[in-house]
Amino acid sequence: MRLSELASAAFKNATAGLVRTLSAYAVVGVCALAAVAITTSASILALEPHVGSVFARLIVAGVFVLIGAGAVLWLHFGQRAASAAPLSADSAADREPRKQDARSAQIAMIVEAVMQGYSLSSRRSDR
C-alpha cells in the first residue's frame, strides 16, 4: 500500500470518527436544551402559586442572568490569570522547544509504527 493511500484511509477514518463524535455531541446538546426548557417551565409552574405569574418568570429570568454573569466572570478572570502568569525568560524558553521536539518525535514514532503495522497486515491478508 502506498503512503498516499494510507494517508487517505487514515483521513477517512479520522473524519468518520469526528462526524460520529460531533453527532453525539449534537444529540447531547439538543437533550440539554430540552431539559433546560422543561426545568424552566416546571420552575415557573412551581413558583406561580407562591409569588404570582409575573414574579415567577422574573425569578427564573434572574437565575439565568446570574448563571450567565457567573460564566462571563469565570471566563474573564480565567483569561486574566492565564495572561498574568509570569514566565521566567531562561527556563520557559529553553524547556518549550525541547518539549515540542520530544512530542514531535513521539508522534512520528507512533505514526511510523501504525503505518508499518498496517503495511504488514495488508501483506498477510493478500496471501
Q: For residue range 36-75, list pLDDT tens digits in order.
A: 999 999 999 999 999 999 999 999 999 999 999 999 999 9
Backbone angles phi, psi at 85, to 5 degrees: -65, 120
Task: Please say if the pLDDT value at position 101 is more than 70.
Answer: yes
Task: Please say if the pLDDT value at position 9 is more than 80.
Answer: no
Round to whole Å and give the CA distance between 123 and 112.
Answer: 17
> Which grid coordinates are listed for 10?
487514515
Indicate the average pLDDT of the chain: 81
Would the pTM of this model clear 0.75, i.e. be above it? Answer: no
